[in-house]
Amino acid sequence: PILLGVPKGSSFNSVVDSLLSKKIIPSKMQLKTAAFLFGVEKNIKAGRYEIPDGINYVNLLKLLVDGVPQAQKLVTIQEGIWQTDLAELLNDQLGIDVKKFLELSSDKKFINSLGLNVNSLEGYLLPETYYFYEGSTAEEILTKLSQEMDKLFAKPEVVEQMKNMKLSKDQILTMASIIDGESNQVEEFKRISGVYYNRIRDGWRLQADPTVQYLARQRRKIVNKVYYKDLEIDSKYNTYIYYGLPPSPINNPGKEAIMAALFPEQHNYFYFVADGNGGHVFSKSGNEHNRQVARYRNWRENNK
């Protein structure tokens, strides 16, 4: 069988064109004549159909008019999701094969077919709430998520700001992934972004915990916290050792984190530490930061 998608609002002529391009029909005229005789040109239903091989014109029209298109499922992909967790989510929701999904995510030929020249699709897939057809393939889903990210980066204000900042899409997505990994509080994103740009501007290391968590999860499956030994992992992703941004995104950042990476808050903060309530306290000096760290540790001890 061949899958045929009929977008909402499609004209009969465009559906016929799709049928011809997929070689489901050998000629347009016979199907158009049959549709005219049956008076069904305006009755084609939107959806995705499985077209059996060798179907005749009458049965094809019946399928497109009276058939039941494949069901769609609403899937919410969390901002900042790791590629491994995305694979598990799609396996749970749509039955996508985890191994196949992860292999495709780092398949250079497939990645290049999406117009990207990167080693992994992690970071290049836009988390959002989507409708997916049940029976969707890993290729279809990865293509869709990649295209949605492309659309975001094609927006004039995004293109203009990247030009102003002299930063590439890869760099923005890498910064956005760190921001998304740092906090669950969207309202903090631009302030956190400002801290990291301040550190880069002044020649500091980023010293971002999410980059070390990324390394730790390559070594062990469960990452609840960063250990001192993790800070010593010799990798370009370790921002406690190496200067600048890591080589690529460390998760799939959402739109809010991407906009924060593009439009950071202008301030003089260089430090931040958890406040115990899901947010962070920001500091301008090392002394002030150390006081806040001591306060947080004290709070944690008292709330075990």
What's 30's domain CATH number? 3.30.1490.480
Enumerate residues 6+ apart whose C-beta is below 8 A from 14: none
- Of 100, 146, 107, give the one whose Cα is nearest residue 123: 146
Of these ranges, 69-83, 241-255, 274-288, the one predicted with the greatest mean pLDDT is 241-255
User: Of the residues 17, 34, 66, which one is the last residue of a structural domain?
Assistant: 66
Residue at 203 is within a domain: yes
pLDDT tens profile 140-188? 999 999 999 999 999 999 999 999 999 999 999 999 999 999 999 999 9
The answer to whether residue 176 is domain-embedded is: yes
Please tell me whether residues 125 and 60 are part of one structural domain.
no
Residue 118 lies in a domain: yes
Q: How far is CA 250 from CA 109, 155, 234, in A?
A: 21, 24, 16
Answer whether residue 127 is part of any domain: yes
Average pLDDT of span 97-125: 98
Helix or strand run (H / E) with residue 185: none
Angle value at C-alpha 77, between 206 and 147, nearest 5 degrees: 85
pLDDT number for residue 156: 98
Cα 81 from chain centre: 8
Residue 273 lies in a domain: no
Q: Are residues 87 and 38 in the same domain?
A: no
97 lies in which domain range? 72-153
Q: Answer yes or no: is 301 within a domain.
A: no
- CA dist 256 and 249 (Å) reads 15
- pLDDT computed for residue 303 by the predictor: 80
Of 49, 66, 83, the residue at which a domain comes to its end is: 66
Asked if pLDDT for residue 223 goes beyond 70, the answer is: no
Residues 184 and 231 in one domain: yes
- The whole-number pLDDT of residue 219 equals 72
Cα–Cα distance, 16 to 36 (Å, whole number): 13
Q: Is residue 191 part of a domain?
A: yes
35, 95: one domain? no
Largest CA distance in the chain: 83
Domain count, the chain: 3
The pLDDT of residue 159: 98
Residue type, 93: Q
With cut-offs at 50, 70 and 90, classify the pLDDT of residue 232.
confident
Total-model pTM: 0.84
Residue 176's Cβ-count burial label (10 Å; 0-12, 13-18, 19+) is buried
Q: Are residues 119 and 181 in the same domain?
A: no
pLDDT value, residue 3:
87
Domain's final residue, options 38, 66, 94: 66
CATH of the domain at 111: 3.30.1490
Q: Which of 12-16, 159-163, 253-257 is predicted least confidently? A: 12-16
